[in-house]
Amino acid sequence: MKNLLSLTLFLLISLVFNAQKADFLLNSYSNEELKEIKTTNPEKYDLLIYAIDHATYLSVFDQEKHGSLNLKELPELKELPFFTDLKVKIEDQNQYFYAPKLKKIVVVKSEWVLNHEKSNK
């Protein structure tokens, strides 16, 4: 009986936690888009939930390496943003943003990269 109660409690907490995380997605996706993705492609929806915590990272800006990229400039950053803070969608290719005060770029990983990472965990 204790095990059943513990399992039920764990599942409820997980559902609430995922629902709160899904709210972050509303910065980048409309309600209608999320409903359609959840219905027609639940794996992609799960990937978007995973992406909230794993889609962005900082990299040192190198003029030679990154100079030819069309970088969108970001306002001053205090911490690594979620991809939803940037109001972008996960795409087929990595996306790059420049944080001039930090002299770094923020990389938003592609769908392929995220799928590859997630499958290796």
**How many structural domains is the chain composed of?**
1
CB contact at 8 A, 105 and 61: yes
Closest CA to 30 of 87, 86, 80: 87
Supply the range of the domain harboring residue 99.
Answer: 2-119
DSSP run (H or E) holding 103? none
Per the CB < 8 A criterion, the answer to whether 60 and 104 are in contact is: yes
Instruction: Note the pTM of the prediction, 2 decimals.
Output: 0.79
Q: What angle do CA 46, 56, 62 make, to 5 degrees?
A: 150
pLDDT given for residue 76 in this prediction = 79
How would you write the pLDDT of the chain (121 residues) with one tens digit per residue?
656 555 454 444 444 444 578 899 999 999 999 999 999 999 999 999 999 999 999 999 888 887 777 788 888 777 889 999 999 999 999 999 988 888 889 999 999 999 999 998 7
8 Å CB contact between 96 and 107? yes
